[in-house]
A and B are shown apart, each in its own frame.
Chain A
Amino acid sequence: AQSVTQLGSHVSVSEGALVLLRCNYSSSVPPYLFWYVQYPNQGLQLLLKYTSAATLVKGINGFEAEFKKSETSFHLTKPSAHMSDAAEYFCAVSEKGGSEKLVFGKGTKLTVNP
């Protein structure tokens, strides 16, 4: 069974600082991995996804994530936080050749301080 663990339910950074949101996955087969963002009072939208084409994936709004098979990780980073990055971020996994269902982590709420 697939699962996702997001370390840290809340992360706080200063504007201009590095953003690092951690995600570890468990999957018995090669996974597809996703990061979604939820702004206040909105639905989720896709930031980026890993489908095995390249281990470093670039997404929207300056975010990127690196797939590390040896560490079963897919951490999300952004070099310089902006106030508009304040949101909740969800990591999700699905199985290659599987049912295309997403399994979500519990989310990390990012606060950006001025």
Chain B
Amino acid sequence: DADVTQTPRNRITKTGKRIMLECSQTKGHDRMYWYRQDPGLGLRLIYYSFDVKDINKGEISDGYSVSRQAQAKFSLSLESAIPNQTALYFCATSDWGEANEQFFGPGTRLTVL
């Protein structure tokens, strides 16, 4: 079984709809991250959490919110989806300490019509 799982893997929604992307991990890591990937732009950090009570904005948090329900679960919500939020979304986890590897989920491809 995969260490970092994301659901759904693909989602098509309409402008204005609320949508939630979910991430679960079995690695026992405290740190979790949400990124979006756009062609030619690389990965950009949306939100990150270093433990259940710690939530931080990343580079591009506008239009997004997150919830850390447990150590193993970190959800990303789009309150009112818009077409320019069409992207590939990745969840990642890492252990405490400096320069630790981030482990990525398989991604969720979101299309907003």
Contact = CB atoms under 8 A, between A and B. Distances in A.
Interface string B87-109: 00010101000111110111100
Contacts of B48: 101
A49 interface: yes
B98 A100 contact: yes
A100 B100 contact: yes
Q: How large is the interface on B (under 10, 10 to 19, 20 to 34, 35 or more residues)?
A: 20 to 34
B43 A104 contact: yes
Interface in A83-114: 90, 94, 96-97, 99-107
A46 to B, nearest CB: 5
A13 to B, nearest CB: 21
Given A43-B107, A45-B104, A101-B58, A106 B40 contact: yes
A10 to B, nearest CB: 10
A43 B105 CA distance: 6
A45 B107 CA distance: 13
B31 interface: yes
Contact of A51 (B41, B42, B98, B104): B98
B96 to A, nearest CB: 9
A43 B104 contact: yes
Interface residues of A, number: 24
A45 B94 CA distance: 12
Contacts of A41: 106
A44 B99 contact: no
A4 to B, nearest CB: 8
Interface of B: 4, 31, 40-45, 48, 56, 58, 90, 92, 94, 98-102, 104-107
5 contacts: A44-B104, A96-B98, A100-B99, A101-B45, A107-B40
